[in-house]
Chain A
């Protein structure tokens, strides 16, 4: 039996009549960077809130570390670090004091505070009030807060939202470093490029439904380009060059310049009229958008 570090079954959240999350079955393995992708309002934060016990699901179950979240919330949360939506902090306190508040409750050694500040490169402002921090610094402090108790699972909800490119790169590098240390990371984003650059597995949510969940390489496989050839005789064309027929077009997926030239020569020799030879580019972006669109029109 395959075991997952995070697994949800039929996870559903309804606000009054409005279904924000519907029957989501997340399956996240240990050591992964799980990219949780979806447009704004898709239900990412709502799902994440349910993973942390901040919201009670209307239906369904959350299992983390093979334990039921509802029954073992405190035990589970002892090993989970999180940053949900905008960073939370006490603006009138310094970075160090903010971490100290959490340290008391989490009961970790005092030295850990400077360690996590070092990790997010905030040591130089440790004694400054957080009120004056830039968004990027606040975001990094949020990650430091999440890392304080050396969690096994780190949940980051749009950690790069609103950051400049430099800040984004910095956070990405930090996340990669943490993953190398064996921490399982769930990171949400509404930007495919973000997830594509960092995740090992991807889960796509739209309108509250999980519409795709697989390794990032499987997603890339979907993005292969193909060559479409339109002629006056589909069947004969397929006999000559192979591939698949869709409507009045024959598509093949393995081709190079040499082959294309050969195909055309063969078709001409067989007296077939070649109307069009087109390469169809399926960028990851296009596939993503198509998935979202299909979900939204259902």
Chain B
């Protein structure tokens, strides 16, 4: 599996995956740089726990960043195979079809975790820069940075499945846009709707379901890919 993941990384060289991970994490914090840059005084009056309020502000942008980033990564990692139909070449290699699928999923996951790590770092750095003079809630920042990734897994797994088996990437992109819009407007949805999960309204419930549904969709997609003839 490590070999296959390395090969996946070699395929997406120069496709800007690292930059995207950086941009996603930085973008979320940059919003607050603008926000606090413009009206720090006012924001500080909203809540006596400055860190908590700052993290709350950051958190509202995390789900759409992860979903958007994850969808772009997913489409890119399948698009490298679509461009010249490299699927047929990959699948004529002495590797298992399911492993190839899993390798792609894991590479996306690794990039999302990387983006989450950067998000943790940027959140912390700008928080320190804001100089709240209150103890730093490290654990909360870790949770806020990494846990939404787990709640997003079903959306990513679904997106990968569609990208890999659909006849044209247009379908995958269209569904990607729908997924993004649903996440964007998920605030008005009830708690059980998957697009609501990345907001971690009820963290335990959201993450638990996210991981279970994500794994389920991953397996279903993998099996469907295995079953179908190569393109």
Contacts and interface: CB of A to CB of B under 8 A. Distances in A.
B6 interface: yes
B14 A88 contact: no
A140 to B, nearest CB: 15
Interface residues of A, number: 33
Interface string A68-109: 000001111110101011111111110001001110111100
B88 interface: yes
Given A54-B230, A88-B85, A91-B83, A101 B11 contact: yes
Contacts of B13: 92-93, 97
B86 A90 contact: yes
B88 A77 contact: no
A90 B85 CA distance: 9
Contact of A87 (B4, B10, B84): B84
Nearest to B227: A56
A86 B10 contact: no
A86 B15 CA distance: 23
B95 A145 contact: no
Contacts of A104: 3, 6-7, 10
Contact of B86 (A53, A76, A88): A88
Interface residues of B, number: 25
B174 interface: no
Nearest to B5: A104
B148 to A, nearest CB: 30
Contact of A49 (B4, B14, B93, B230): B230
A105 B93 contact: yes
B230 A55 contact: yes
B23 interface: no
B226 to A, nearest CB: 10
Which of B80, B84, B88, B96 counts the most chain A CB atoms within 10 A?
B88
A165 B7 CA distance: 36
Interface in A5-54: 49, 52-54
B23 to A, nearest CB: 19
B52 to A, nearest CB: 44
A89 B93 contact: no
Given A55-B229, A85-B88, A91-B83, A77 B10 contact: no
B84 A86 contact: yes
Contacts of B7: 101-102, 104-105
A101 B14 CA distance: 14
Contacts of A101: 7, 10-11
Interface of A: 49, 52-56, 73-78, 80, 82, 84-93, 97, 100-102, 104-107, 145
Interface of B: 3-4, 6-7, 10-11, 13-15, 80, 83-89, 91-96, 229-230
